[in-house]
Amino acid sequence: MNNNDELSQPIAYTDREELESMQGPDGDTYAALWAIPHGCGQDIALYSHGYVSALIQRAEAAEQRLELVREQRDNELRTNSELERRLQQPALADVMTERQRQINAEGWTSDHDDEHENNEMAFAAACYALYAGNPYPGQGYTPPEWPWDAEFWRPSTERRDLVKAGALILAEIERLDRAAAKVEGE
């Protein structure tokens, strides 16, 4: 055992005068840490001041790290709570529901969406967003920017058109993410 190992080992003493006169192998005086082990008499565990200081510094550093972890956890809980609150808002729920409808009812799955590599879904979303709430020029009108066949241009109310636009934007973002992941995986 080296000196540091010796200093890290507690030594039990009961004679207080002997303790006060002792010095460690490094010439350092000892600090006494009192302990009462499992119903035995009162004993003293003895360590050098340097070792005790190091223990205290480590304990303080651990306490600071614990405080940072607690702050991070509290921030995450606030963020998660805010996200849950926002997810319960009707507008976001309607966009998510429309996206699911596009997948389930229309069959516009991620595989199908991946075929639209020229930003068609973004253009379609823009068309719905631009025409939301505006009077349409008439029956059968399809915007010139519309990327697909005219039969798929189905404007409705201002809010419904914005919901469709939001769902199409979401589909385009998901497509871009899948394309980026595919490139990274190669």
Query: Coil, strand, or helix at residue 60?
Result: helix
This prediction has a pTM of 0.54
The string of pLDDT tens digits covering residues 56-99 is 788 888 888 888 888 888 777 777 777 677 767 888 889 999 99
Q: Specify whether the CB–CB gap between 7 and 25 falls below 8 A.
A: yes
| Domain match, 115 and 38 both | no
Which residue, 86, 116, 131, sits at the end of a domain? 86
How many domains does the chain divide into?
2
| Domain match, 66 and 146 both | no
Query: Coil, strand, or helix at residue 2?
Result: coil
Structural domain span for residue 120: 90-185
Which residue, 86, 118, 151, sits at the end of a domain? 86
| Domain match, 121 and 167 both | yes
| Domain match, 18 and 59 both | yes
Q: Specify whether the CB–CB gap between 19 and 46 falls below 8 A.
A: yes
The string of pLDDT tens digits covering residues 163-176 is 999 999 999 999 99
| Domain match, 94 and 181 both | yes
Which residue, 56, 86, 116, sits at the end of a domain? 86
| Domain match, 139 and 127 both | yes
What are the residue ranges of helices labelled H in 46-157?
Answer: 49-87, 90-104, 110-113, 120-131
| Domain match, 9 and 59 both | yes
